[in-house]
A = this chain, B = another copy of it.
Amino acid sequence: MGAKAAIVGAGHTRFGALDAGPRALLRNAVDAAFASVDRGAERSVVDEAYLASLGFGGWQIGNSAAVLAEELGQPGLPTTHIENACASGGFAIRAAVAALGSGAADLVLVAGVEKMTDVPSGRRRYWLGVSGDTEWERLAGLTFAGVYGLIASRYLSDHRVGPEALAEVAVKNHENGALNPNAHFRKVLRSDQVLRAPRVADPLGLYDCCPVSDGAAALLLARADLARRFTDTPVYLEGLGAGSDHLAVQERPELTRFVASRRAAEAAFRAADVDRGRISFLEVHDCFTIAELLALEDLGYAAPGEAAEITLSGATRRTGRLPVNPDGGLKAKGHPIGATGVSQAYEVFLQLRGAAGARQVPGATRALTHNVGGAGATATVTIFAAG
């Protein structure tokens, strides 16, 4: 079936250790989204709003959707808070597209936010850890870095590859992030720096892990048939897919494939009815370097173990044949949990309109976003096309 929704505006704050609280971050992203609409959009025309957030910085934990309506300047508006851990943004976009597709709304606001620095450290650890399985992982002390470290060990061992492939993910994404004015890290790295960095969860070192970031991103999504009221260059959502998996990694038959990502990708490609070769670039969920390798395989761009070789070949660089994470990815751009899935779509909006500046992927016409919750317990994949 044809696209039911299109992005007609998008806004983004800087990602990083910021002074602003979650309310102000949301407001800034929403304001920027409205400012980006070519022919303008009245705030009163928005029919619904969806908020993606894990914990709103531990501040407004319950009923935080109401804050989004307030910061939009439309208290009264139907507004829904969606929480699927690090995949909250992808699932919020999906819910918004369902609202548009069902005829319940013509124009919808989706915003994601997280405030993770400058909150009491005990609470910060709590909010990061709560998305893993409580009984078998969190209470046993197994952090996300720990889980991904186990996955990376298995991957390197099964496929007899060295840590250089992981390091190359970091090098590439930092190179891209250096060109992104919103990125948390804008410093380029050399492979030997990544390989010699202090270990976090072997084989993952400091530069294999995404940072703890504050930030927000917002999208204005319109019904596809109304999109040209707002702009001549909407970006269409051609296919959406989602999936889940056992929450505890120990329940899964394999460590190095995420069933949730695979199901999401299959559904998205089926809905969009396009071949993988027609996607110009990917925005994948690289919370740790190993996650980018898994993503290439789960999304169907590499056979098991091949992602390492493809990455080392330079194919996934911004100038390669399949650019991955031209905005720097979670690794360099940062990962404010609820904002991440929305931020991926923001990057697609810029790129497919040729507005990504120094980091533009030349001639990009289609893109895919891949957003993962926790260590693969939930995931979304969305395929976008230029208007």
> How many Å from the CB of A172 to the closest CB on chain B?
28
A65 in contact with B99 (CB, 8 Å): no
Please name the residue on chain B nearest to A375 by beta carbon: B63
Q: Tell me the interface secondary structure of chain A in the complex.
A: mixed
Once the chains are docked, how many angstroms separate the CA of A182 from the CA of B55?
Answer: 32
B62 in contact with A130 (CB, 8 Å): yes
A76 in contact with B260 (CB, 8 Å): yes
Contact with B along A93-106 (1 / 0, CB 8 A): 01101111111100
Once the chains are docked, how many angstroms separate the CA of A99 from the CA of B373?
Answer: 20
Tell me if A84 is interfacial: C-beta within 8 Å of chain B.
yes
Q: Which of B48, B134, B259, B378 contacts A65 (CB 8 A)?
A: B378
Q: Which of B54, B77, B98, B133 contacts A104 (CB 8 A)?
A: B98
Interface size on A, residues (CB 8 A): 61
Output the residue of A55, A63, A134, A377 with the most chain B CB within 10 A. Answer: A63
Count of this chain's copies in the oligomeric assembly: 2
Once the chains are docked, how many angstroms separate the CA of A85 from the CA of B83?
Answer: 12
Please name the residue on chain B nearest to A21 by beta carbon: B135
B374 in contact with A247 (CB, 8 Å): no
Contact with B along A369-387 (1 / 0, CB 8 A): 0000110011000000000
Given contacts A59-B134, A63-B84, A76-B259, 16 further A-B contacts (CB under 8 A): A4-B102, A62-B85, A62-B132, A62-B374, A63-B373, A65-B378, A66-B244, A67-B247, A78-B267, A82-B82, A95-B99, A97-B102, A98-B98, A98-B101, A98-B102, A99-B102
- A-to-B contact residues, CB < 8 Å: 1, 4, 48, 54-55, 59-63, 65-67, 69-70, 75-85, 91, 94-95, 97-104, 127, 130-134, 240-247, 251, 259-260, 263-264, 267, 373-374, 377-378
26 residue pairs bridging A and B, Cβ less than 8 Å apart: A1-B103, A4-B102, A54-B62, A55-B61, A55-B62, A59-B134, A60-B247, A62-B83, A63-B84, A65-B244, A66-B244, A66-B373, A66-B378, A70-B246, A75-B244, A75-B246, A75-B251, A76-B259, A78-B94, A78-B244, A78-B267, A79-B242, A79-B244, A79-B378, A81-B82, A82-B83
